[in-house]
Amino acid sequence: MSLRQNALALAVTTVLMAIIGDWSGDPDLARWWYLPLALLLLGLAYEGWIMLRTGLGVAITSAKPRAILGRPAALEMTFTHRLRRLLTLQIAADSPPSVEMDGAVKTLVVPPAGASLPFTATPRRLGQQTWPPLRARVAGPLGLAWWTRPLPAQFTLSVAPDLLRDDAERAGGTASGARARSLLGAGGEVLQLREYRPGDPQHVIDWKATARSNRLVSRDFSEDQHLEIILAIDAGRASSLRAGDLDRFGHFANIAARFAEHAVAHDDQVGLVIFADRPLASIAPGRGVGTVARIRAMLSAVQPATAESNPLNAVLRIRQLVRHRSLVVMLTDLDDASVAGQLASAARLLLPKHLPVLLDYAELYPELRLVVNHGAKPRIRSGDIAEWRHDMQAVARGTNAVCKLSGLVTEAGSANPAQLAPVVDHLLEVFGPGRLMWGSDWPVCELVCSYEEWYQASEMLLVRLDALEREQIYSGTARATYGI
């Protein structure tokens, strides 16, 4: 309780009358200060009795069944009471720690029928956000005091990941179908016949065409029309750190939810793995709106863990979930040194098919520092590098990525400079020495050649460069990228 203007006036009157009566020396006048004091006390008692009968309550409602992470949500507080008179309130609306809203004190006059106060709140974390009691004070009818009343809100805001489109245009809500793509892959339809290349598996050889032409002929197949996608999201310790308006896990969840919507709109299968030091939750790849709903529900239910992340355990779980060639999109903190070793090992699984996703992610976050590991592991042994050449050119032109000149001998099966030259020449052409960094890939390179043999092959491959350009590849790019 805090006194208002009328109570302060009565209190001042009481003090002045007491002083005047004491100075006057008149016993009758000295007792006149009892009157304003009695009025003040009786008035406060009356207001307190009225406050006991108010039956003041509040209900918070949301215009939509759930809020979207990072977007303002329209909410409304409705105040009701049992009195047959106007009630003046002052409200300081508190919010959960993970929800931002205007905390300014608001004044509201509530008639007997009740009154509503609209406001907006922006959730910064997924899941269920329970509202704390509101701090409110009620003006007494005599204007003597503000009477404090904590009002239980009994409201929980459900926060879900962001949407790719508005609710009426949810992915999968409209007709979606397959689109034919003339790409080389592992589908069942023969796309074209071509000459045999060393390393082609036996099942792609067309023996009838071979017999007719008297030379080996191989078949290229059209790519399957639908992708199988796994979204792997880091929910380790570093994911709880704030990055702008949201924590990192919030950004990852929003990207994953939008990606899933886009995938099912194209009739692709999409699954989810959330990991920290171990897999926390997973969903096998599936199609349709139901899969998106399950992914969104799982993202809403998981909170960042306190343990350090281990991407290798996530990769093991992914291998259990998928049996076919799949696109794996991993959302994690590239700057977290504590997981750099495991992340580098997991990144060895990178194949050329992952590059378009790398490009799109870099376009969303142009300030992100990207390193393409092992030249994105081109298929040197089979000689099928046309798609790799196109994608690497797109990465070089569309991002600020640098590329590691390493791990090529294991893809080629030898350290023969003539076999490696088409790949190295293309990397030099699209990235240039300033965005290439040499790496040994030791001890993995020992599966094919020694460290010295790979270094000697590199020297032969880079012989046409001048000393400054070679120095840039061997050390300068790495120092600039890693700040060493």
Say if CB 162 and CB 258 are below 8 A apart: yes
What tokens were used for 122?
A: 């922006």
Among candidate residues 447, 432, 446, 439, the one with its CA nearest the CA of residue 401 = 432
pLDDT score of 334: 61
- Residue 353, SS3? helix
Q: Length of the chain in residues, anyone?
A: 484
Evaluated on CA atoms 112, 118, 119, 121, the torsion sign reads positive
In this structure, the number of other CB atoms found within 10 A of the CB of residue 423 comes to 23
Give the DSSP letter of residue 235: -
Nearest-angstrom CA–CA distance, 153 and 466: 72
Helix (H, G, I), strand (E, B) or coil at 115: strand
Q: Tell me the three state secondary structure of residue 483.
A: coil
Q: Which helix (H) or strand (E) holds 20?
A: helix 5-24
Residues 355 and 327: their CA atoms lie apart, in Å, by 10
Q: Which two tokens mark 395? A: 């990465």
Q: Using CB atoms within 10 A of its CB, is residue 110 exposed (0-12), middle (13-18) or buried (19+)?
A: buried
Query: Residue 278: CB partners within 8 Å, gap ≥ 6?
Result: 307, 310, 313
| Dihedral (Cα; 188, 193, 195, 201), 10-degree rounding | 10
DSSP string, 278-296: SEEEEEEEE-HHHHHHHHH
Rounded to an integer, what distance in angstroms lies between the CA atom of residue 22 and that of residue 24?
Answer: 6
Cis peptide bond prior to 311, omega within 30° of 0: no
Spatial separation of the C-alpha atoms in residues 350 and 311, rounded to whole Å: 13
Structure tokens at 19: 């002083």
Residue pLDDT tens, the chain, 484 long:
888 888 899 999 999 988 888 888 888 888 888 898 999 999 999 999 999 999 999 999 998 888 999 899 999 999 999 999 999 999 988 889 899 988 788 999 999 999 999 999 999 999 899 999 999 999 999 999 999 988 998 899 999 998 875 443 443 333 333 333 333 444 455 667 888 888 777 777 888 888 878 888 888 765 555 678 889 898 988 888 887 788 889 999 998 999 898 888 877 889 999 998 899 999 998 888 899 999 999 999 999 998 888 887 887 788 778 766 677 888 887 655 455 555 555 555 444 444 434 444 455 555 556 778 788 888 888 888 887 888 788 778 767 788 989 889 888 888 899 899 999 999 999 899 999 999 988 888 888 899 999 999 999 999 889 989 999 999 998 888 877 7
Whole-number pLDDT of residue 459: 92
Going by C-alpha positions, the residue among 218, 222, 223, 162 that lies closest to residue 193 is 218
Instruction: Tell me what pLDDT residue 178 has.
Output: 37
Q: What is the largest CA-CA distance in the chain?
A: 137
Contact by Cβ (8 Å): 297, 66: no
Terminal Cα-to-Cα distance of the chain (whole angstroms): 62
3-state secondary structure of 314: helix
Distance (Å, whole) CA 463 – CA 417:
11
Residue 411 one-letter amino acid: E
Cα-Cα-Cα-Cα torsion 264, 128, 328, 243, nearest 10 degrees, comes to: 120
Q: 3-state class of 68 per DSSP?
A: strand
3-state secondary structure string across 364-418: HCCCCCCEEHHHHCCCCCCCCCHHHHHHHHHHHHHCCCEEEECCHHHHHCCCCHH
Residue 408 near residue 440, CB atoms below 8 Å = no
Contact between 331 and 232 under an 8 Å Cβ cutoff? The reply is yes
- Of 318, 334, 341, 414, the closest CA to residue 368 belongs to 334
| Angle (deg, nearest 10), helices 288-301 and 248-265 | 170
Task: Give the integer Cα–Cα distance in Å for 439 and 405.
Answer: 6
Closest CA to 388 of 399, 376, 397, 400: 376
Distance between CA atoms of residues 402 and 202, nearest Å: 37
CA–CA distance, 55 with 443 (Å, rounded to integer): 76
pTM of the entire structure?
Answer: 0.57
> In 3-state terms, what secondary structure has residue 466?
coil
